[in-house]
Amino acid sequence: MTNRRNPRFEWFADGIKRQGADDSIELLVVDFYADERDLGQIGRDRGLNCRSITPKPSVWQGKHRLTKENYFAAANARNTAICAAKSDYLVFADDLSVPGDKWLERVRWHAQVQNVVCGSYQKLKQMAVNDGKLESYEEFEAGKDHRRAHQVYSMAPCYGSWFYGCSCGGPIDVFLRINGYPEIADGMGYEDSVTGDAIRNSGSTIFFDKEMLTYESEEGHHEDRSFIRADPGISPNDKSHALLNICEGASHFPNFFGPAGIRALRARIQAGEPFPKMGIPEHDWFTGTPLKDL
């Protein structure tokens, strides 16, 4: 998923191609700019089964937004993928990323045994990438994945809060069971770790796999004007802590996809229907501010 002008998608496409990706893997790019470009062509030029789509309509960003400017809406983008992806196993990966040498091997293994998994990441500077392989870089101490130091084994069960969005996956039914990612996080973020907690609360074990590793460009995160991520209030009385309190103990998120939830929405999208236009919420749930004033 991306909302960047230069998401380095060729890095990722080249990387999984050299690791043996074939037509059995659908590569889906949820691209904010998909109406202006076709990142899917980058994958198809490499012989990959690849397509790109825009995020589903949202009140926080895009042509249907209620806000004055575009806000960060990762939960909406992730739920777009949950509905549009055709496989029964789904893996997310961040933009600006190069897959580590064993990334696809580990993804295939977890898909085979139907694990819920979160992979590791490392943000680096001055990344030189050739044919999907990281050839040189500059270390970036602040970009290290702290989870790696807390786990002795290459793979082990982990906390739900370790379910970061950089590289993660699971059976599609696991995401449907919790009704997708919590869209109350849109406009801010923090949708990933609370989703991990909900997955755990719904009965699934999550594994952290160090070898399911991606490398991210630190400079790439600062090239564009970022979509707004607002966390009003003063910690601990801020929106992010309120989100954590709301989601604590949850095993199902009250997203409004119709009375039958995201499972029914996915069935309609798989049958060829377009995503419905959304006009709610009209107010920020934490501050009560009308979105038209944001």
Helix (H), strand (E), coil (C) string for 105-133: HHHHHHHHHCCEEEEEEEEEEEEEEECCE
Query: What is residue 290's predicted lDDT score, i.e. its pLDDT?
Result: 98
Residue 45 lies in a domain: yes
Query: What is residue 276's predicted lDDT score, i.e. its pLDDT?
Result: 95
Residue 263 lies in a domain: no
For the chain, what is the mean pLDDT? 96
Cβ(201)–Cβ(160) below 8 Å? yes
Residue 70 lies in a domain: yes
Residue 172 lies in a domain: yes
Query: What is residue 258's predicted lDDT score, i.e. its pLDDT?
Result: 85
Domain span holding position 102: 9-254
What is the domain count for the chain?
1
Cβ(12)–Cβ(103) below 8 Å? no
Which residue is associated with the tokens 């580590």? Answer: 100
Query: What is residue 6's predicted lDDT score, i.e. its pLDDT?
Result: 96
Query: What is residue 173's predicted lDDT score, i.e. its pLDDT?
Result: 98
Query: What is residue 259's predicted lDDT score, i.e. its pLDDT?
Result: 86
Structure token pair of residue 150: 């807390």
Side-chain-side CA neighbours of 170 within 13 Å: the count stands at: 23
Residue 113 lies in a domain: yes
- What residues of the chain score a pLDDT lower than 70? none
Q: Say whether pTM exceeds 0.85.
A: yes
For residue 244, what is the domain's CATH number? 3.90.550.10
